[in-house]
Amino acid sequence: MRQWWRARDMVARLGEPDISVETIEAAARCGRATLPELFRLLTSAEDDTLRRAAGRAIAILWANDELIVEEEKALVLRGYSAQWRARRKYPRAFQAPIPISVSYGVPFLPSQTPDPKWEGVSLESLEWSHRVLGTRRANLESYTPWTSGSPEASFELIPGDFDGNGPHRLVLHARVRTVGLTENWMLELPQIPFSLEFDPHLQTDALFALADEARHEHFQRSIQLVRPPTSSDESSAFLSLDQEFALRNPPILKVETPLPCDLAHILDLEIEGAVNPIRAGGVVLSGQGGRAPNRPRSHEFPLELKSLISNLAIEKPGQRRIRAILTPDSEKGWGNPDIRSIWPERIVTDWTEVELVRL
C-alpha cells in the first residue's frame, strides 16, 4: 500500500509544470506506474534536458526488466536521432572529395563505459548497422557489420559523380538490435534524409576573407613553432624526415585564439639548408571571427609527415633552424562545415632552433 501511494504521488508530480530533472529520474524507483508519464515527457517535454531525464528513467526500468518488448522498442524509436555533418551547398566547380559524416543513436543512453553508478541499460547492450542511400557508391548501400557503442557513418562524395546541380538526397537507413538482455529483438529505424546541392555561381574562393595589415600582424603574433614540453624521464621523440635523418623532439605549431577568422591551411616546414619545404599536414581551426567573444585558448598541432622525403639534400646532422609556412586551402575549408571565413594569405612563423640527427 505504501508503494502504491508513493507511485501515485510521483505520477502527480510528473504532471506538474515545474518538474525537475531530479524528480523525473527518481520516478524509476516507483516501477511501471510512472511509465505512461515518463513516455509523455520523453515525447512532448519542451526542455531537452527533461526529455533526456525521462529517457534515462525508462532505461532504468528496462534494466530492471519492467518493460515489455514493444515498450523497449518505443524507447529506442522515440529517443533515436541522427546528426548530419556537411554543408548544404557546394561550388559546382569544386572537384575534391567531400567528407560527410552522420552520427546517430539514442543520445541519453550512456556509452560503452557508463558511470559505475548508472543502473539502466547502456549503449553496450545495443548493436547498430547502417547503410547510406543516394551516394552513388555501391559499398555504402550495403548494411555495415553490427557494432556497439556510439555509431557513426563517415564517407566521401565525389562531386563529379553527380551530373546535375541538385538538390541531391542522401538517406541514412539504420537498424538496431539488443545484446545480452532478457529479450532479443531487431528494429528498423526511421530513415533520416539530408539534401545538398551544387551552385554554379558559387566560387571556390568564396570562403576567403578580406586581408588587411592589422589582422595579418595578429596572425603572425598568434601562430608560432614552439618546443614540446619535456618529459620527466628525459626521453626523446623523433620525427623521421627521410631514410637517414630525423628531428629530435620536433616542435609543435601553437595557435593562440581568438583569431580574426578561421584557419584552413596546408602546413609546410622550411628547414635551413634543405632544398624544398616539407609537407607536414594541415591546420583547420573553426569558430573564429564570430560576434561572441571567444575565451583565450591555446591549440597545438603536431607535425605530421605523410611520407618520407626523397630529396632532403642535407649532408650531416646538427643544429638547424626551422619555420612553418601556412598556405590557405579552399578544399580544407569546404570540407569542414564549421569553417565560415578563411584567412586568405600565407602565414610564416619565426625561425626556431631544432636538432637534426641520423637514424
> Please, which pLDDT band fits residue 131 given cuts at 50, 70 and 90?
very high
H/E stretch holding 334: helix 330-335
State whether residue 157 is helix, strand or coil: strand
Q: Which of 5-9, 31-35, 174-178 has the lowest mean pLDDT?
A: 5-9
The pLDDT-based confidence of 88 (bands split at 50, 70, 90) is very high
Among 107-111, 209-213, 241-245, which range has the highest average pLDDT? 209-213
Across the chain, mean pLDDT equals 85
Predicted pLDDT at 343? 92
Asked if 109 and 125 count as a contact pair (C-beta separation under 8 A), the reply is no
Distance CA 338, CA 357 (A): 40
Q: Tell me the three state secondary structure of residue 341.
A: coil
User: What is the CATH code for 81-199?
Assistant: 2.60.40
Contact assessment for residue 199 and residue 94, using Cβ atoms and an 8 Å cutoff: no
Identity at 11, one-letter amino acid code = V
pLDDT above 90: residue 306: no
pLDDT at 27: 76
Give the other-Cβ count within 10 Å of 87's Cβ.
15
Where is average pLDDT lowest: 29-33, 109-113, 123-127, 348-352? 109-113
Domain ranges of the chain: 2-67, 81-199, 213-358
pLDDT at 175: 95
Residue 306: which of 326, 280, 325, 284 has the closest Cα? Answer: 280
Tell me which of 15-29, 185-199, 212-226, 345-359 is least confident: 15-29
For residue 359, pLDDT beyond 70: yes
| Distance from C-alpha of 345 to C-alpha of 286, rounded to nearest angstrom | 17
